[in-house]
Structure 1
Amino acid sequence: MAPTKCVSLLTDYGLEDGFVAACHGVIARIAPAARVIDISHLVPPADVRRGAAILAQTVPYLPEGVHVAVVDPGVGTTRRAVAVAGGGRIFVGPDNGVLSWCVPDSDARAFELTNRTLWLEPLSATFHGRDVFAPVAAHLAAGLDIAAVGEEFDVSDLVTLPRPTRRVQEGTVDGEVLTVDRFGNVQLSVTADDLRRIGAVIGVPLGIVLGRRTLTVPYRETFGAVPPGELVAYVDSAGCLALAVNSGNAAQRLGLPPGAHVRVAAALASTY
């Protein structure tokens, strides 16, 4: 395997401590030629779903390489540490679902990280990002064959998160809140194609049904197309419908946490 020269890092470590720098340092010592790309280190603590969504939406724009995701509330327990290869990429992290939305549907191979000669010693029970995942990723970036990291197992045995749900019906689409970003923008599992299928047109308001509430929301190309403080629906950079408040926080205003059910309708439809 030729050196990939790229390692990406996604964690919930934050930026106040030296955790991220330690991971960078481990990679630099083992694979000094590798380019390290920080996806984010501000994933909300232990929010595996948010980490999985950020990873899945970012990786398509990164070079092929080794992608490390450490959102790991089970660190030090019996949860597996894994490396998964597929689609020209390798994903390294805990087997808790954080990698699952990136694993290809076919041709993927999964390995448990059991080759301790690749780890740092002494091993910390609470910092596997530094002592397990970073060194293994660095060795892989330097050209190590993935089969050397440990025992292969059936990829179907990986822990997976439920895929975000959506269902298109005549004139409406049911979806859920996929993520909420740091601006309070609410990203839905509803896609731009779903909106076209129900006849939604930019410039014509959408009906947004939130439990017993039904809102009529302007559908625009960007949140800046409405006055400050106004609610707006738009298709975000990941191709998903999002709800935002221009210069405000839509998640707080609407009370929409990740996983909440949302129904979207073309505002002229009679089905909402």
Structure 2
Amino acid sequence: MTPSFIAFLTDYGLADGYVAACHGVIARIAPSARVIDVTHDVPAQDVRHGAVVLADTLPYLPPSVLLGVVDPEVGTERRAVAVVAGEFVLVGPDNGLLLWAADAAGGASRAVELTAAEYRLTTGATTFDGRDVFAPAAAHLAAGLDVGALGPSVDPASLVRLADPWLRVGAESVEAEVHVVDRFGNAALAAGAAELAAAGLDEHARLRVTVGDRSSYVPLASSYAAVPEGEPVLIVDSAGRLALAVNRGSAAADLRLRVGERVTVSS
């Protein structure tokens, strides 16, 4: 089945015309394709954040071409690829952005490098592959092109993969790194309800949270508003991750948390 949707994620922002140019390229090639803008507010050049958002969003999308562009190595020898995974084709740079989403779709079964000149724009630019390479490829796929026409096959095992986040589950203890921080300052860990249960922590009303040499007890609740305004709380968020939040505040700011930092949750 040919996807009629293109789901589009970038770090371009909306202050410039980059997103509109890509939309325009898609509309010229595949005017009947429907574009879902996942986000264009990925922090600049933050491939990992983009990868998390793509993977978290994919299960709620219709069968689509996923067009992801967070590409700090644009203009270099990094590959441009299309990756088939389940009912999705993921198009973007081979820098780790795509593979967590491919995993969420059941795993990459096929991949090609985007080298076919007839399916890209010849503008002479080397710094805007989103417009000149990735958007045309996505549009042609949405219009019915077979992925194999875009270029030579690539072994899916050779695609760049980001390192898995740190996670260790023990007796009455879960140690996990901060996997992602959202715009509200909620700090989601690389652990979820299953890890809490495996550690025997899921029935506790309060849990000890340790970050470096700082430690405090935090309620485990089902909503942000279960604690007074300005107070921290542990929840299992909408992506199924254990997250540190502050009711009407920012856990990242108040608790001095950043992506990659290790947090221990214990009894």
Alignment match, 1:43: 42
Using a 3 Å threshold, how does the CA distance of structure 1 residues 62 and 106 change in structure 2: closer, same or farther?
Answer: closer
Alignment match, 1:157: 158
Secondary structure (helix, strand or coil) at the match of 1:148 reads helix
Q: Distance in 2 between matches of 1:136 and 1:193?
A: 39
Secondary structure (helix, strand or coil) at the match of 1:102 reads helix
Amino acid at match of 1:111: V
Alignment match, 1:88: 87
Query: Does residue 240 in structure 1 map to residue 241 in structure 2?
Result: yes
Amino acid at match of 1:64: P
CA-CA distance at 1:107 after TM superposition = 5.6
Alignment match, 2:51: 52
CA-CA distance at 1:171 after TM superposition = 0.8
Kindly indicate whether the alpha-carbon contact (under 8 Å) linking 1:123 and 1:131 is maintained by their aligned counterparts in 2.
Answer: no
Secondary structure (helix, strand or coil) at the match of 1:152 reads coil
Alignment match, 1:10: 9
User: What RMSD, in angstroms, separates the aligned Cα atoms of the two structures?
Assistant: 1.3
CA-CA distance at 1:168 after TM superposition = 1.1
Q: Percent identity among equivalent residues? A: 53
Secondary structure (helix, strand or coil) at the match of 2:195 reads helix
Paired residue total: 265
Q: Distance in 2 between matches of 1:14 and 1:165?
A: 30
Kindly indicate whether the alpha-carbon contact (under 8 Å) linking 2:69 and 2:93 is maintained by their aligned counterparts in 1.
Answer: yes
Secondary structure (helix, strand or coil) at the match of 1:255 reads coil
Unaligned runs of 5+ in 1: 268-272
Alignment match, 2:68: 69
Kindly indicate whether the alpha-carbon contact (under 8 Å) linking 2:172 and 2:199 is maintained by their aligned counterparts in 1.
Answer: yes
Q: Distance in 2 between matches of 1:6 and 1:179?
A: 27
CA-CA distance at 1:103 after TM superposition = 2.4
1:110-121 aligned at under 5 Å gives the runs 110-121=111-122
CA-CA distance at 1:203 after TM superposition = 6.5
Unaligned runs of 5+ in 2: none
Q: Distance in 2 between matches of 1:18 and 1:231?
A: 39
Q: Distance in 2 between matches of 1:138 and 1:159?
A: 24
Q: Distance in 2 between matches of 1:106 and 1:120?
A: 30
Kindly indicate whether the alpha-carbon contact (under 8 Å) linking 2:2 and 2:143 is maintained by their aligned counterparts in 1.
Answer: yes
Amino acid at match of 1:243: L
Q: Distance in 1 between matches of 2:245 and 2:202?
A: 18
Q: Distance in 1 between matches of 2:73 and 2:25?
A: 22
Runs of at least 4 residues of structure 1 off by over 3 A? 104-107
What's the TM-score, normalizing by structure 1?
0.94
Alignment match, 1:148: 149
Amino acid at match of 1:219: L
Q: Distance in 2 between matches of 1:244 and 1:180?
A: 10
Alignment match, 1:196: 197
Alignment match, 1:263: 264
Alignment match, 2:227: 226
Amino acid at match of 2:21: A
What's the TM-score, normalizing by structure 2?
0.96
Amino acid at match of 2:198: R
Using a 3 Å threshold, how does the CA distance of structure 1 residues 107 and 71 change in structure 2: closer, same or farther?
Answer: closer
Secondary structure (helix, strand or coil) at the match of 2:71 reads coil
Higher mean alpha-carbon deviation, 142-151 vs 164-173, is at 164-173
Q: Distance in 2 between matches of 1:80 and 1:98?
A: 12
1:153-192 aligned at under 5 Å gives the runs 153-192=154-193
Q: Distance in 2 between matches of 1:247 and 1:123?
A: 48
Secondary structure (helix, strand or coil) at the match of 1:51 reads helix
Using a 3 Å threshold, how does the CA distance of structure 1 residues 189 and 141 change in structure 2: closer, same or farther?
Answer: same
